[in-house]
């Protein structure tokens, strides 16, 4: 790497120099290209008679056409490339009105930080942008750029980011800010530059840059790359970093990497994974691939994986890891501390030490803080807490999520039916489970078979297969709506005005039913409701739906009287009360019925409730009309 890159000014000092040299300007009301041209002229003026300076705006527009350099929260970082040696510089524009920038989140851009990047500073630009993104992502007030009133407030906000980038942020959160980041920054903003480095075979520069990035960002980047580039980028990573990154990559990318790795590489990667990560990977692989990879594991690792795969699918046993620290109840504090120093390096956590008896039965737990402060001569049994919370190995993982939420723990022990300690489950695995379960419920609520991978990675035929069964089923369900209308054909032919209010009434019923179902299903999902709460929920929903029906009936009576007279208004308002009440009760009852028969209540929301409410609405409306109008 050229010397100029190694001695280049740190990222934060570039923004600081822009502030000190008056390169923070207020932009007039303008569009994106006009704003870019204004800032480009500032850079051209700074570069002076450099022959590449006049090409700055062309370079910026070229890279913006490839990928919009948008960091989020109304902040963009466009850049121009130069073919010369020299220093990287930046200029900053603030738009009080905001600029439509073409970003997908809908935020107007209020702050543009534009860079001029000579060839020798390309690595510095990548490092600066990722560092700036971390500082912005960890700024608690990054959502409030729209409220900045003048350039002085803009400079204060920039100073806050500079402090974070230099590690001068106050408080514990400030010191941790560089370790947290919105991982999409690398894949969305930097990926064009990463691809350019791969094309130019600047692999050493790329390795240096990646080695300084957090593992979650690198995992996001590798997932976003084409299959042909994923393995190349992964092989550039140092061994210790590669092991961590692999555990964070999604399963399709893991499978692709393993397929293209040499056998020794595969063995090293698998050996570095924790037992829970190994089990999760093997769960996703075809049987023949699983058998081939199991043969690469050591005897101990293979036994551990096979043991965990023997637990029921979606059970806690498949999530647990054997990487924990335990101590015997008759040990002294000094012996326990020595054991932690020896075994703790391979443990998922040492914040809690699990205490077992001679038979391996869990009898208590100790916090590391208690051990450090205790007399070394004391026995563990004297200090240990016996009121611990443990998970059962065959317990459903959804129950584990609720237990973690209730007790707010970093990790929980897993025991068998006899209380023997088998492993632990950590909150990072539980967060993954919670996300998967929430996604699955959303899919089911939309009458979609849950997808095993992300939308963009799901083949088109799988998207079709996941959606078509319910849609076809609902076609046949809705035939009953047509049958109801056909039954009252004579009534409708005499009172055509009834048709005007049919869509309004059945849509109101569908919406009310979907609302009720959503509330009940979500309450069940978080453990607030169970089957024994049916009666209480029934009466609450009856009262609420009655009030909703009366409120909506008043509105529909006024509209119907104005449109079709008082007689149709009476029919429509009575139908509205009945439809809203019964549809709401249907939306409440259906999840309880499904739960009673051990079916996921999530399938009761959305299209299913709406379709059933449509049938109910047609029959109720036209039946009331038939009685009142005597046809």
pLDDT for residue 177: 37
List Cβ neighbours of 91 (8 Å cut-off, separation of 6 or more).
Answer: 18, 23, 24, 25, 39, 42, 43, 46, 114
Pick from 69-73, 143-147, 297-301: least confident = 143-147
Residue 396 has pLDDT above 70, yes or no: yes
Residue 302 has pLDDT above 90, yes or no: no
User: Angle at CA 124, nearest 5°, toward 122 and 129?
Assistant: 100
Residues of the chain with CATH 3.10.580.10: 326-435
> 3-182 falls under which CATH superfamily?
Mannitol-specific EII; Chain A (3.40.930.10)
What percentage of the chain has pLDDT greater than the value 70?
A: 87
**Among the ranges 227-231, 399-403, 462-466, which has the highest mean pLDDT value?**
399-403
630 or 311, which is more confident: 311
Span 149-164, average pLDDT:
83
Q: How do residues 43-86 score in pLDDT, each as one tens digit?
A: 877 766 454 445 777 778 777 776 677 777 788 888 887 766 67
Residue 530 has pLDDT above 80, yes or no: yes
583 membership: H or E segment, kind and range: helix 566-596
pLDDT for residue 604: 60
Q: How do residues 554-565 score in pLDDT, each as one tens digit?
A: 989 988 888 888
The two structure tokens encoding residue 16: 């600081």
List Cβ neighbours of 373 (8 Å cut-off, separation of 6 or more).
Answer: none
Span 319-327, average pLDDT:
85
309 or 43, which is more confident: 43
pLDDT for residue 89: 83
Residue 119 has pLDDT above 80, yes or no: no
Span 328-335, average pLDDT:
90
Residues of the chain with CATH 3.40.930.10: 3-182
pLDDT for residue 585: 92
DSSP code of 10?
Answer: P
pLDDT for residue 187: 61
pLDDT for residue 543: 93
Mean pLDDT over the full length of the chain: 79
Residue 106 has pLDDT above 80, yes or no: no
Closest CA to 32 of 117, 118, 105, 93: 93
Residue 591 has pLDDT above 80, yes or no: yes
Residue 520 has pLDDT above 60, yes or no: yes
Pick from 67-76, 183-192, 401-410: least confident = 183-192
β-pairing, 79-82 with 70-72?
unpaired
375 vs 192: CA distance, rounded Å: 58
322 vs 411: CA distance, rounded Å: 12
367 phi, psi to nearest 5 deg: -80, 145
366 membership: H or E segment, kind and range: strand 362-367
Span 376-390, average pLDDT:
88
pLDDT band at 398 (very low <50, low <70, confident <90, very high): confident
Span 91-117, average pLDDT:
82
**Among the ranges 196-200, 283-287, 337-341, which has the highest mean pLDDT value?**
337-341
Residues of the chain with CATH 1.10.357.20: 460-629
CATH architecture label of 326-435? Roll (3.10)
pLDDT for residue 1: 37
pLDDT band at 548 (very low <50, low <70, confident <90, very high): very high
pLDDT for residue 551: 92
154 or 180, which is more confident: 154
List Cβ neighbours of 419 (8 Å cut-off, separation of 6 or more).
Answer: 361, 362
Closest CA to 444 of 512, 509, 517: 517
pLDDT for residue 534: 92
99 vs 357: CA distance, rounded Å: 66
Q: How many CB atoms lie within 10 A of CB 112?
A: 25
CATH of 460-629, one of 3.30.70.270, 1.10.1040.10, 1.10.357.20, 1.20.120.1200: 1.10.357.20
**Among the ranges 356-360, 439-443, 608-612, which has the highest mean pLDDT value?**
356-360
pLDDT for residue 254: 81
pLDDT band at 578 (very low <50, low <70, confident <90, very high): very high
pLDDT band at 167 (very low <50, low <70, confident <90, very high): low
Angle, helix 32-47 to helix 56-66, in steps of 10 degrees = 140
pLDDT band at 550 (very low <50, low <70, confident <90, very high): very high
pLDDT for residue 9: 47
Model pTM above 0.85:
no
User: Angle at CA 290, nearest 5°, toward 284 and 295?
Assistant: 150
Q: Could you tell me if 203 and 168 are in contact, meaning their C-beta atoms sit under 8 angstroms apart?
A: no
Closest CA to 332 of 283, 293, 369, 371: 371
**Among the ranges 161-175, 236-250, 276-290, 444-458, which has the highest mean pLDDT value?**
236-250
pLDDT for residue 490: 82
Residue 178 has pLDDT above 50, yes or no: no
60 or 373, which is more confident: 373
pLDDT for residue 129: 78
β-pairing, 391-392 with 411-415?
parallel
448 membership: H or E segment, kind and range: none
Residue 289 has pLDDT above 80, yes or no: no
Closest CA to 217 of 114, 131, 140: 131
């Amino acid at each position: 790497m050229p010397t100029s890159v190694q001695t280049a000014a740190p990222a934060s000092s570039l923004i600081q120099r822009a502030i000190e040299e008056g390169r923070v300007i207020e932009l007039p009301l303008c569009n994106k290209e006009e704003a870019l041209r204004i800032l480009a002229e500032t850079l051209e003026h700074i570069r002076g008679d450099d022959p590449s300076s006049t090409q700055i705006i062309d370079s910026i527009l070229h890279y913006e056409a490839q990928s919009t350099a948008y960091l989020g929260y109304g902040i963009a970082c466009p850049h121009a490339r130069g073919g010369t040696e020299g220093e990287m510089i930046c200029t900053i524009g603030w738009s009080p009105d905001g600029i439509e920038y073409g970003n997908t989140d809908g935020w107007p851009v209020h702050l543009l930080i534009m860079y001029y990047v000579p060839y020798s500073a390309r690595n510095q630009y990548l490092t600066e942008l990722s560092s700036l993104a971390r500082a912005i992502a960890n700024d608690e007030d990054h959502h409030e750029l729209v409220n900045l009133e003048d350039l002085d407030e803009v400079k204060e906000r920039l100073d806050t980011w500079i402090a974070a980038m230099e590690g001068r942020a106050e408080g514990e959160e400030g010191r941790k800010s560089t370790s947290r980041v919105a991982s999409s920054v690398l894949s969305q903003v930097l990926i064009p530059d990463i691809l350019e480095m791969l094309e130019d075979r600047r692999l050493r520069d790329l390795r240096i840059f990646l080695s300084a990035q957090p593992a979650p960002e690198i995992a996001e980047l590798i997932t976003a790359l084409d299959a042909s580039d994923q393995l190349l980028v992964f092989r550039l990573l140092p061994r210790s970093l590669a092991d961590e990154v692999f555990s964070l990559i999604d399963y399709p990318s893991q499978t692709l990497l393993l397929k293209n790795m040499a056998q020794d590489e595969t063995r090293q990667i698998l050996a570095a994974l924790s037992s829970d990560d190994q089990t999760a990977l093997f769960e996703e692989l075809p049987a023949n691939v699983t058998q081939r990879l199991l043969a690469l594991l050591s005897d101990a690792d293979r036994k551990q994986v096979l043991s965990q795969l023997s637990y029921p699918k979606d059970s806690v046993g498949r999530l647990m890891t054997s990487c924990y620290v335990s101590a015997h109840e008759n040990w002294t504090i000094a012996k326990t501390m020595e054991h932690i120093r020896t075994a703790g390096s391979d443990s998922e956590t040492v914040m809690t030490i699990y205490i077992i008896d001679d038979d391996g039965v869990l009898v208590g737990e100790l916090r590391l803080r208690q051990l450090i402060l205790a007399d070394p001569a004391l026995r563990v049994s004297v200090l240990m807490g016996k009121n611990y919370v443990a998970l059962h190995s065959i317990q459903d993982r959804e129950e584990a999520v609720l237990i973690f939420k209730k007790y707010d723990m970093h990790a929980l022990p897993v025991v068998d039916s006899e209380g023997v300690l088998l492993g632990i489950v950590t909150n990072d695995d539980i967060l993954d489970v919670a996300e998967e379960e929430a996604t699955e419920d959303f899919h089911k609520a939309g009458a979609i078979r849950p997808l095993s991978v992300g939308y963009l990675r799901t083949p088109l035929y799988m998207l079709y297969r996941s959606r078509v069964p319910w849609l076809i089923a609902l076609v046949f369900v809705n035939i009953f709506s047509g049958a109801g209308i056909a039954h009252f054909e004579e009534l409708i032919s005499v009172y055509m005005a009834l048709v005007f209010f049919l869509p309004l009434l059945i849509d109101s019923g569908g919406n009310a039913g979907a609302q009720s179902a959503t509330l009940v299903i979500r309450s069940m999902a978080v453990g607030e409701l169970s089957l024994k709460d049916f009666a209480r929920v029934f009466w609450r929903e009856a009262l609420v739906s009655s009030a909703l029906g009366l409120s909506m009936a008043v509105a529909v009576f006024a509209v119907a009287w104005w449109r079709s007279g008082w007689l149709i208004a009476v029919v429509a308002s009575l139908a509205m009360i009945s439809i809203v009440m019964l549809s709401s009760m249907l939306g409440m009852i259906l999840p309880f019925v499904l739960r009673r028969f051990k079916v996921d209540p999530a399938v009761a929301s959305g299209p299913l409730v709406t379709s059933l409410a449509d049938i109910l609405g047609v029959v109720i409306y036209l039946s009331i009309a038939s009685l009142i109008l005597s046809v």
